[in-house]
Structure 1
Amino acid sequence: MKQAYYLESIELIKKFTGASKVVLFDHTVRRRRPGQVDDSPSRRQPVEFVHVDQTTQTSITRVHRHLPADEAPKLPEEQFQIINLWRPILHAASDQPLALCDYRSVEPEKDNFPLALWKYLRGMTSDEIVLIKSYDSIQDGKMAIFTPHTGFKDPSTPMDAPLRESIEVRALGFCDSQTSVTQDDGAGVSKLSPRRATPSFPRLSLPPAHTMRHAQGLGHFIINSTRELGLAPVKFHGSSLSATFSPPATMALFLPVAPLVAQD
């Protein structure tokens, strides 16, 4: 697992985020099994409540836990991110798909923000991944810091859909001080800014107004109009929330990749 899939995941995160260094620190395989108790790593089920994976303190702790002291960045001066790479395995994730919250609709100081905007990609397959920003050390009000997410019951899921099976890996991402920065010109057009001393990720550091759905041949920041996006109501604890992609926004990348191949 770690020798094959970890290496593949590291290269994917580097490719699509521009990170110069990626350190994977754990993974979780989730299989929905109704009636089974989620009481061990081998019996993990999809999470059905809204959550974020990291806090500021746990994120900083992970840097020092998973990197040698001489490799850890000079916090908080240097930027790092925690990024999850999530994908279905075996079959499409029609059952219990993953919903992501638009960070612009989040009120971090509150426990409840009823105007939260949610979105998901219907029927994700094992040759598609989603990169989710779980933490960003740069908190200047211009970038998403984290992405609330959850599994949920999609009312459009066929009754005979196979139960969800998915894998997610979690990684620390770093970039060097010579990385070009992808910025937005305010009109939805991405461009590269001049190199600067403060390191920043060229893709996942886009302002929260921009969610990227990578479309083959169309560029990294184009919504793929040929791919059906989930627009059905998302229900959490009895509350119906609109899952809309207009305007498209959350700090996550939906990306087509090579099919997942089982390893011996």
Structure 2
Amino acid sequence: MTTSGIFRYADPATIVDSDVPFVKPWAKVDTDASSYARIAKKKTVANVRDAPAGDLAVDRSGFALYNSPATEKLFVDEDAIRTGYYAEVEALVREKLSTPQEPVTKVVIFDHTVRRRNPDAPRQPVQQVHVDQTPGAAAVRVRRHASSDPAETEKLLKGRYQIINVWRPIGHAASDHPLGFIDYRTAKLEDVVKVDLLYPNQPGDPNVEVDVRGKEVLPDPTKAQSTDGYSVKGETYTVVPNDTHQFYYVKDMVPDEALFIKCFDSRSEVQPGVGRPGVSAWTPHTAFEDPQTPADAKGRQSIEVRCLVFYGEAEQ
């Protein structure tokens, strides 16, 4: 069963071709503000549950759905998330992505986000088509999180690694503002545009990451287009429209299910010199308003865990 949705893309007519900070396209992480305009497109959305068996996979379409109940249910305790749930996610990633020819040798979980859709929550479901990481941002993540040994870090960067987001509803089915994602095979490299992520300045060393999850305050909407008080601390892809894009969603996805979303792959078909034909590079995704959602559906709650996944070669 299909549905439809209005998807917010970047308007290509408002994209500036520049690498100069604050002239290069930018988007703020704490509010729905960017240097470029948005354009809305109505798209048909297919249900993952109706896809032929085996057609949708992380290395083909860029995403995959798994049945995997979690021990944690509420996701309100940060310590419980970082200890118990992180371990469950790592085990699931190893189980689903390892192959005899290319086993997963290391998983590093570097971040997570809990979103609960209500008007006053700082972390709202993102409603613009995007990809979380560019190749440059992915390499930065490896250098920052993978190892304290510089030699090991360089070795990891030379091998195959991915950034995989593991997304799960919390508490009830994600019927309200479900996650929509594009089949990689229907997208093109020119559909993605590099965008600087602007973070509000925090006290202390600007080179040290500060964990402000749960401590954010809603920004002043009258200053949305001002970059004063912000710094560039990341890079993402925004996405421009293409009529070829085929969207999918998981109708009434439940907390016992986990969705893998590929954000980067160092051996994808678009990687110069080392790319593998047919291997997906990324999965553009966004929350969207499903017109079939019941009026009394509960507000969407979700947790997204971001993983660096490293591969080795099978022992001979």
TM-score (norm 2): 0.53
Query: Which position in structure 1 is the counterpart of 2:253?
Result: 124
Q: Give the match for residue 159 of structure 1.
A: 295
- Return structure 1 stretches of 4+ with deviation > 4 angstroms: none
Give me the whole-angstrom Cα distance separating, in 2, the residues matched to 1:120 and 1:107: 20
Question: How many angstroms does 1:20 deviate by?
Answer: 2.2
Q: Which residue of 2 aligns with 1:27?
A: 112
Give the drift of 1:134. 0.7
Aligned 8 A contact 2:115 2:302 in 1: yes
User: Aligned letter for 1:174?
Assistant: F
The alignment partner of 2:299 has SS state of coil
Cα distance in 2 for partners of 1:153, 1:90 equals 19
Greater relative contact order, per chain length (Cα 8 Å cut-off, separation 6+): 2
> Given residue 16 of structure 1, which amino acid in structure 2 is its aligned partner?
K
Letter in 1 for 2:296: D
Alignment of 1:9-24 (within 5 A): 9-18=89-98, 19-24=104-109
Residue 70 (structure 1) shift:
3.3
Q: Distance in 1 between matches of 2:252 and 2:153?
A: 39
Partner SS for 1:146 = coil
Structure having the higher Rg: 2
CA positional deviation for 1:4: 0.9
Q: Percent identity?
A: 45
Match of 2:306 among 170, 183, 195: 170
Q: Give, as a single letter, the amino acid of the residue that structure 1 aligns with 2:137.
A: T
Q: Give the equivalent residue in structure 2 for 1:5.
A: 85
Which deviations, in whole Å up to 9, do the C-alpha atoms of 1:20-65 show, x marking residues without a partner?
Answer: 21000000001111x32x6xxxx21111110000000000111010
Residue number in structure 2 paired with 1:48:
127
SS in 2 for 1:135: strand
- SS of corresponding position for 1:161: coil
The equivalent residue for 2:24 is none
Say which of 60, 66, 81 aligns to 2:145: 66
Structure 1 range deviating more: 87-96 or 69-78: 69-78
Paired residues, what number? Answer: 174
**Any residues of structure 2 matched to 1:217-256 within 5 Å, and which?**
none
Q: Aligned letter for 1:17?
A: L
The code of the aligned residue for 1:8 comes to: E
Where is the strand percentage greater, Structure 1 or Structure 2?
2
Output one character per residue of 1:5-34: Cα deviation in whole Å (capped at 9) or x when no partner. 11111111111111221000000001111x
Equivalent position SS for 1:8: helix
Alignment partners' CA distance in 2, 1:76 and 1:10: 20
Deviation at 1:74, TM superposition (A): 2.9
| Deviation readout 1:102-161 (Å, 9 max, x if unpaired) | 111111213331220000110001000001111000133421100000110111110000
RMSD after superposition = 1.6
Q: Distance in 2 between matches of 1:7 and 1:78?
A: 24
Does structure 1 conserve the Cα–Cα contact (< 8 Å) formed by 2:165 and 2:305?
yes
- The structure richer in helix per residue is 2
2-structure distance, mates of 1:70, 1:8:
29
Q: What is the alpha-carbon distance in structure 1 between the residues aligned to residue 164 and residue 183 of structure 2? A: 16
Q: Distance in 1 between matches of 2:313 and 2:182?
A: 30
Q: How does 1:64-143 map to 2 (within 5 A)?
A: 64-68=143-147, 69-74=150-155, 77-110=158-191, 111-138=240-267, 139=271, 140=275, 141-143=277-279
Runs of 5+ unmatched residues, structure 1: 180-194, 196-264
Residue 230 (structure 2) aligns with: none
Amino acid at match of 1:11: A
User: In 2, distance between residues paired with 1:55 and 1:163?
Assistant: 30
Q: What is the TM-score of this pair, normalised by structure 1?
A: 0.63
Which blocks of at least 5 consecutive residues in structure 2 are unaligned? 1-80, 99-103, 192-239
**Separation (CA, whole Å) in 2 of partners of 1:161 and 1:172:** 34
> Structure 1 CA distance, aligned partners of 2:242 and 2:105?
36
Q: Which residue of 2 aligns with 1:57?
A: 136
